[in-house]
């Protein structure tokens, strides 16, 4: 793995003014991970607005006055659930994702908190990234279409 000098990474809580950018980054995340979500940019922005008004917190990470990543998470009695972590494509593989999670663990989240997240089964790059940080599998989520269980044909 090549070494990169990581410029200072600063973070702050996202605000309503960040919603258009967060929606665009969320769209890129959906595309990059191969998610089947087909929401429009406007729908993604509205969903993000709802999350921020609800139980989720969004943090943006900056390098040299440019937002390079964001993190969406919530805390509860079980620990911290990371719903989304996205690093801009042009600055990936430079340690930003790991640095962002490390900052949150050092500066925001309780030291003994259990940090959990979900990764799509086919997203090997994300699985490798999180495993390299020390994340371990805890549960497997399975799904099927109801018509298949009802006796229909199985998808290929």
Return the CATH number at 54. 3.40.630.30
- Each residue of 21-70: pLDDT tens digit? 888 887 877 776 667 666 677 887 888 898 888 899 999 999 988 999 99
Distance CA 148, CA 24 (A): 35
- Of the candidates 92, 74, 86, the one whose C-alpha atom is nearest the C-alpha of residue 33 is 86
In a domain? residue 2: no
Distance CA 36, CA 34 (A): 6
Number of domains in the chain: 1
In a domain? residue 1: no
In a domain? residue 14: yes
Q: Which domain holds residue 59?
A: 10-149
In a domain? residue 4: no
In a domain? residue 3: no
- Each residue of 59-93: pLDDT tens digit? 999 998 899 999 999 998 889 999 889 899 888 88
Q: Note the pTM of the prediction, 2 decimals.
A: 0.81
In a domain? residue 24: yes
What pLDDT shows up at residue 4? 47
In a domain? residue 69: yes
């Amino acid at each position: 793995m090549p070494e990169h000098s990581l410029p200072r990474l600063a973070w702050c809580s996202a605000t309503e003014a960040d919603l258009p950018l967060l929606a665009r980054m969320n769209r890129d995340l959906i595309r990059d991970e191969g998610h089947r979500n087909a929401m429009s940019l406007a729908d993604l922005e509205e969903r993000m607005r709802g999350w921020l008004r609800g139980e989720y917190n969004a943090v943006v990470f900056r390098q040299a006055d440019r937002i390079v990543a964001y993190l969406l998470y919530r805390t509860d009695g079980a620990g911290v659930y990371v719903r989304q972590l996205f690093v801009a494509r042009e600055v990936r593989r430079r340690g930003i994702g790991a640095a962002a999670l490390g900052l949150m663990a050092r500066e925001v989240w309780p030291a003994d908190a259990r940090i959990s997240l979900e990764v799509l089964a086919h997203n090997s790059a994300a699985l490798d990234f999180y495993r390299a940080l020390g994340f371990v599998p805890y549960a497997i989520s399975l799904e099927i279409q109801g018509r298949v269980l009802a006796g229909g044909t199985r998808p290929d």
